[in-house]
Amino acid sequence: MKGNVSFTVSFQFCTFELSSQRIVKSIIIAIDGFSGCGKSTLAKALAASLNYRYIDTGAMYRAVTLYFLENNVDIEDEKSIEEALNNIIIEFKHNPNTNQTDTFLNGEDREIAIRTLRVANFVSPVSAISAVRRFLVHQQKIMGDQRALVMDGRDIGTVVFPDAEVKIFMVANDEVRIQRRLDEMQTKGVLGNYDDVAANLKTRDLIDTSRIDSPLAKADNAIEIDNSYLTRDEQFQLVYKMALEKIGQSQNEN
């Protein structure tokens, strides 16, 4: 599949204007893990500190899911899926009002819409479709051509970038994950119910780990981090140190 998804990545940090203590060697940092484990929070902080690009692959799958829902795409019909994918354009653009990156679907900012429970309840079945995965993984691999990238998802270290210099696999206990997801929804202005979110996470875990095509799994050489009781700064410092060490090693090798 050629793929029609285009990516206009306009983060504040996508132009690499580095400081006097700049990082010269570019690596790829792959962060995988279950939903609600804080992957995106960590990935964004790392990318900003390293002046690397950040790609939220979960947002890409959510955008496709939203398109399928709004256009009544039959996920059992291969032809319908193929036609839908050929009509999808996903862009990531910096939002100056929130200082965050928003997801645009076919030219429209849909950041809030893709974070709803309606999309969350349907994203795992859509993500399990091989055609969808091939379509988006192809785009993700292109993004890594120039390296200097932090990407989070569920198959980044195993499928998208198996050669990533830093691979992290994040876990957290269920109570923490549920509360984090509720907090995230609240910041997006989306109402959430504890029991509904708990059921959603349980279902997504099952689908993500049991799908035939690139299931969620820890890469053999990934570092597992349980951040149930780590602060954001603690987990950031832990992985940031790993990244700097790997960058230093890469520079010495060259």
pLDDT for position 146: 85
Q: Give me the residue spans of the domains in the chain.
A: 28-244
Confidence of residue 2 (pLDDT cuts 50, 70, 90): very low
173 vs 146: which has the higher pLDDT: 173
pTM score, whole prediction: 0.82
Strand locations in the chain (E): 28-33, 53-56, 90-95, 100-105, 108-109, 149-153, 166-171, 223-226
The mean predicted confidence, pLDDT, of the chain is 88
Assign domain 28-244 to its CATH superfamily: P-loop containing nucleotide triphosphate hydrolases (3.40.50.300)
7 has pLDDT over 60: no
Q: Both tokens of residue 73?
A: 């795409």
pLDDT digits (tens, 9 = 90+) for 102-118: 999 999 999 999 999 99
